[in-house]
Amino acid sequence: MNIDVLFPIFATSLIVGLSGAVSPGPLLAYDIKESLRIGPWAGPAISLGHSILELGVVALLYFGAATILDSDVAQIFISIIGGAVLIFMAATFIRNSAKNSEINTTPNKSYFDKMGPVIGGVIVTVSNPYWSVWWVTVGLAYLIWSQEYGLVGVACFYFGHILADFAWFSLVSIIIASGRKLIVGKIYKIILALCGVGMGGMGIYFFIRGINLI
C-alpha cells in the first residue's frame, strides 16, 4: 500500500480528532475530575474506554449502520438518555464537592468513582449526543474515504483519530495531577463543582434538544 495515500488519512484524522478533543465537553470535565482523584493515569484510562467504544462505532459504520444512527428516533433517544446521564453524573460531582474538603485517593462511595475511569470513559462518551452526530457526519465521511484503501486505510483513520484523544487527555491529566498537591481544600471543591456545573449544563441542553426533536 502506497504510504503517500495512507499518511494523509492518518495525519488529517489526527488533526481533526485533536480539534474535537481539545473542545470543552463532558469528557474533558470528566478527565479533569478523575485526574484530581487518581492522578495522571486518568487520561490514558479514559481514552482507552473512549477508543474501545469508537472501535465499535467504526465497525458498525463500516457495515452500514449510519442510516440507523442518523434517524430522528435514534437522535431523540440519544439526546434524552444521554442528557439525563450527564445530569446525573453532574449531580454526583456537585454532591461530592460539598462533602470532600481535600483530594481523596481512597475508595469512594460514589458509584461513578467505583466503576473506574475506563468504564466511565465509555459512559460519558456515549452520553454525549454530539459524539454520535460527529460520527454519522464527519466520521462517516472519513470512513468512506479511508475504506477505499481497505482495512489498512480504515486502521490508519482509526488510529490517527484515537491517538489525538490519548495525547490530549493524557496531557491534561499530567498537568492537573502535577499540581494536585496544591489543589486542596476549597480550590479542589470549587474545581469539582465547576466540572459538575459544566457537565450538567451540557446535559440539560442535550435533554431539551431531545425533547424538542419529538
| Chain segment 170-186, per-residue pLDDT in tens | 998 998 888 766 655 66
Torsion of CA 116, 120, 121, 125, to 10 degrees: 180
Asked if residue 155 lies in contact with residue 1, where contact means CB atoms within 8 angstroms, the answer is no
Domain that holds residue 166: 3-100+108-213
pLDDT at 42: 94
Number of domains in the chain: 1
Asked if residue 182 lies in contact with residue 103, where contact means CB atoms within 8 angstroms, the answer is no
pLDDT at 70: 61
Tell me what the mean pLDDT of segment 91-107 comes to: 62
| Weakest mean pLDDT among 25-29, 33-37, 130-134 | 130-134
Tell me what the mean pLDDT of segment 183-204 comes to: 73
Asked if residue 27 lies in contact with residue 46, where contact means CB atoms within 8 angstroms, the answer is yes
At 107-132, the pLDDT tens digits run 455 566 777 899 999 999 988 877 88
Return the higher-pLDDT residue of 66 and 5. Answer: 5
CA atoms within 13 A on the CB side of 2: 6
Tell me what the mean pLDDT of segment 35-45 comes to: 91
What's the chain's average pLDDT? Answer: 80
